[in-house]
């Protein structure tokens, strides 16, 4: 078991020297489970530090896997319904003609919305992040204050971020752990820079209720801000290599 950053550095250095290690679990969470086992950290779902003041994160260096940083519906109230009705499309998943809107948006290009003829993208302005269509910028946005609050709530602890090469798939996947970083201090300017570069994505997941008194009405499945695993450390002010 590790308790301090020095404990982590000592034990992680030993793990690096092991070379290739077979995964302890199949699938995307295999790298985290494997590292926790090797460090003697018991797996749990508690929102808090894994050791000392630190939360442990890990990523595959050669992976394009995406992480959801947080979910946040756009403002103002009723924005999702407005987007669904104006830009959405009918879906075979429902036995009615009501629209849904599922799309992954970025700031570096427009995304075509099914066969509607509409295109949407993210635009960063001084006071927040807006949705833009082929017709111009909509009054649909996430304020700077709201995004900063979401991020700080989700990432309130300090982090140790471990990186590993990976090879193989499923139960046969193997990891070779490499460098590790001490990471802290959310940087909103870095967040915007990554967003503008198309390295942060906004997933619109606006559906409708299947049944009951709300049948056909807007159902927000969680608008997610997502980033590739290996880009996540660049969101922070302090990024110090420790191994």
Q: Where are the domains of the chain?
A: 5-63+156-184+230-241, 68-148+190-229
The sign of the CA dihedral 203, 208, 209, 211 is negative
Instruction: Please determine, for residue 102, whether its predicted confidence score (pLDDT) is greater than 80.
Output: yes
pLDDT tens sequence across 157-180: 788 999 999 999 999 999 999 999
CATH of the domain spanning 5-63+156-184+230-241, picked from 3.20.20.60, 1.10.3720.10, 3.40.210.20, 2.40.420.20: 3.40.210.20
Mean pLDDT calculated for residue range 215-238: 79
Q: Structure pTM?
A: 0.75
CATH superfamily for 68-148+190-229 is MvaI/BcnI restriction endonuclease, recognition domain (3.30.70.3570)
Instruction: Please determine, for residue 101, whether its predicted confidence score (pLDDT) is greater than 90.
Output: no
Output the average pLDDT for the chain: 87
pLDDT tens sequence across 34-70: 999 999 988 766 667 888 888 888 889 877 778 888 8
The pLDDT assigned to 17 comes to: 97
DSSP summary character for residue 53 = T
Pairing of strands 89-90, 174-186: unpaired
The pLDDT assigned to 71 comes to: 87
pLDDT tens sequence across 116-155: 899 999 999 988 999 999 999 999 999 988 888 888 887 7
The token duo for 176 is 């070779």
């Amino acid at each position: 078991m590790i308790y301090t950053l020095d404990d982590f550095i000592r034990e992680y250095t030993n793990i690096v020297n092991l070379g290739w290690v077979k995964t302890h679990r199949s699938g995307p969470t295999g790298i985290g489970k494997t590292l926790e086992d090797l460090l003697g950290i018991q797996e749990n779902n508690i929102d808090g530090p894994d050791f000392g003041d630190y939360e442990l994160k890990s990523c595959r260096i050669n992976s394009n896997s995406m992480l959801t940083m947080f979910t946040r519906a756009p403002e103002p109230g009723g924005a999702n319904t407005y987007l669904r009705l104006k830009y959405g499309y009918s879906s075979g998943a429902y036995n009615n003609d009501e629209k849904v809107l599922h799309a992954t948006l970025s700031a570096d290009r427009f995304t075509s919305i099914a066969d509607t003829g509409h295109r949407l993208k993210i635009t960063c302005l001084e006071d927040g992040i807006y949705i833009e269509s082929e017709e111009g910028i909509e009054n649909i946005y996430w304020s700077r204050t709201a995004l900063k609050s979401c991020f700080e709530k989700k990432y309130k602890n300090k982090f140790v971020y471990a990186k590993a090469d990976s090879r193989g798939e499923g139960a046969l996947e193997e990891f070779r752990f490499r460098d590790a970083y001490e990471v802290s201090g959310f940087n909103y300017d870095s967040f915007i820079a990554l967003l503008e570069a198309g390295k942060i994505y906004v997933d619109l997941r606006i559906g409708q209720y299947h049944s009951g008194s709300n049948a056909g009405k807007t159902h927000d499945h969680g608008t997610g801000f997502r980033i590739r695993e290996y880009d996540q450390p660049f969101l922070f002010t302090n990024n110090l290599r420790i191994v």
